[in-house]
Amino acid sequence: MSALHDFSVAQLAAKLAAKEVSSVELAQHFLARIQSQDALGAFLATDEAQSLAQARAADARIAVGEHTPLLGVPLAHKDVFVTRDFPTTAGSKMLANYRSPFDATVVNRLGSNGAGMVSLGKLNCDEFAMGSGNDNSAYKPVQNPWDISRVPGGSSGGSAAAVAARLVPAATGTDTGGSIRQPASLSGITGIKPTYGRCSRYGMVAFASSLDQAGPMARSALDCALLLSAMAGPDLDRDSTSLDMPAADYAAELIAANTKAAGSHPLQGLRIGLPTQFFGAGCSADVLAAVRGALAELEKLGATLVDVSLPLTELSIPVYYVIAPAEASSNLSRYDGVRYGHRAAEYTDLEDMYKKSRSEGFGDEVTRRIMIGTYVLSHGYYDAYYLKAQKIRRLIAEDFQKAFTQCDIIAGPVSPTVAWKIGERSDDPVASYLADIYTLSSSLAGLPGMSVPAGFGAHGMPVGLQLIGNYFKEAQLLSTAHRFQQATDWHQRKPGAAA
Ligand code: GLN
């Protein structure tokens, strides 16, 4: 018999509805597991009393016959979503002990006032979501459950590790330049970054506002679809960039698409574009082999593979690493030690207080980005760097539209390598930046993208297949991934640490 933590979100919801288990029992089971197994460092905060209170509220709703697809199922939030019930640090000393007076919209929609999921706590991440290995967390690095000497990916590394190790059935993440897809890939789980604006950014600690987007991370596409349906949707009073489009019932669409196209070629008619630039020498052979294996499987299911080109792919790295730090330098200026955030204990005058508070509160990577961002926005350099980057950003988005005249979905690797050793890239930020090559361009274009477990590469580490859709095509991405997951079992493989 499977243990409770082996069940998916969909299965747990069914068990709750059938009263085979209560939400309180589930919360207790997972909290005990976190207590005994989280040497991985995935959680930054838990609070049994708060979680159990949320679980009792869910049980009360179930008792009066309420049926919503996620009611009573546990989850945990990346620590960049502000929460009333738990502290919020964004992985930074700057926000140590910070307690928000309100919940982020995504937290609110998933939680007691909405879908009724029960939060088990807050998940570790790179400081202010800047990083690719979760080793920029000011608190502790996170270990990859497949090999604890390796990173889980980042910046949503705590989310990925916790889901992979079955410490929680699903988690939220955020993706600015790949931070949902890359850790999902490196930790062998499923994650989707929706179209920019799909989920409200209200209450998400800001990194780069024109790129930041929330999304779900879980073991399967179906579970991601269930969460996304609750997370997405307009929030115009609070986030003016949230899309004025109602959320779809992604899980229902996925199931309907699946029923309609049953048979041996359910993906008949789907054109999958393979950008030449994603399959070059920059990608390691083990990752390419796994990705090609997954593409062959999609072909067997009826999809047609076509070659496409995204000629500006390489430029997405310099463009992103100008725009994202520029926005970050502006967003992070609010942490001045006055309104909230860390304040130095001793200082001589106001300026000294700012300087000391910010130098003490921010880690190296965040400081580096503030300096880059301030530089590219400064008088005399603005046109040469920031404005130029914005122009190329537009061209990158246009390249995708050209590609989408030849295909419905774009596919390729998520990360050029499997997870690396903790500490291996700590002294070389540029090496980390270069590894974002396959995720940055779709982020700059604002397109939805996902990572789907697609096999294993070097050292037995997981490899993700990236699927990128056109704007608002989350349902198509999720149902394609779902069919792939019905034909494969990569997403069900279990790391040693999840026993
Ligand atoms: N690795 C990228 C960076 O360091 C992406 C981070 C993210 O998506 N939050 O900026």
Question: Ligand 1, atom 10: nearest CA belongs to which residue?
Answer: 130
Ligand 1 pocket residue status of 173, Cβ below 6 Å: no
Going by pLDDT thresholds of 50, 70 and 90, the confidence category of residue 68 is confident
Share of the chain above pLDDT 70, in %: 99
Closest listed residue to residue 205, CA positions, set 106, 128, 126, 283:
128
Ligand 1 mean position to 279 CA, how many Å? 22
CB-CB neighbours of 65 under 10 Å: 7
Q: Does residue 106 register a pLDDT over 70?
A: yes
CA of 439 to the centre of ligand 1 (A): 9
Could you tell me which of 91, 78, 172 has the C-alpha nearest to residue 131? 91
Average pLDDT score over residue span 332-350: 93
Return the active site residues: 78, 155, 179
Which residues have CB under 8 Å from 427's CB, separation 6+? none
For the Cβ of 155 lying below 6 angstroms from any atom of ligand 1, the answer is yes
The pLDDT of residue 240 is above 80: yes
Residue bearing the CA closest to ligand 1, atom 5:
177
Does the Cβ of 130 fall within 6 Å of ligand 1? yes
Helices then strands, counting H and E runs in the chain, come out as 16, 11
Residue 165 tokens read as 């190790």
* pLDDT (average), residues 61-90: 96
Query: What is this structure's pTM?
Result: 0.97
Please determine, for residue 443, whether its predicted confidence score (pLDDT) is greater than 90: yes
Nearest CA to ligand 1 atom 4: 131
CATH number of 4-266: 3.90.1300.10
Domain boundaries, the chain: 4-266
Mutate to test the pocket of ligand 1, among 79, 128, 130 (most ligand atoms within 8 A of CB): 130
Average pLDDT of span 178-200: 98
For the CA of 132, the closest atom of ligand 1 is 1
pLDDT band at 258 (very low <50, low <70, confident <90, very high): confident
176 lines ligand 1 (CB under 6 A): yes
Strand order in the sheet with 213-218: 43-45, 118-123, 74-78, 170-175, 213-218, 190-193, 449-456, 462-469, 409-413, 271-275, 304-308
Name which of 47-61, 235-249, 283-297, 439-453 the model is least confident about. Answer: 235-249
Question: Average pLDDT, whole number, for the chain?
Answer: 96
Closest by Cα among 341, 433, 443, 396 to 154 = 433
pLDDT at 309: 98
Ligand 1 centroid distance, CA of 177 (Å): 5
66-71 mean pLDDT: 92
pLDDT of residue 212: 98
User: Is 497 a residue whose pLDDT tops 70?
Assistant: no
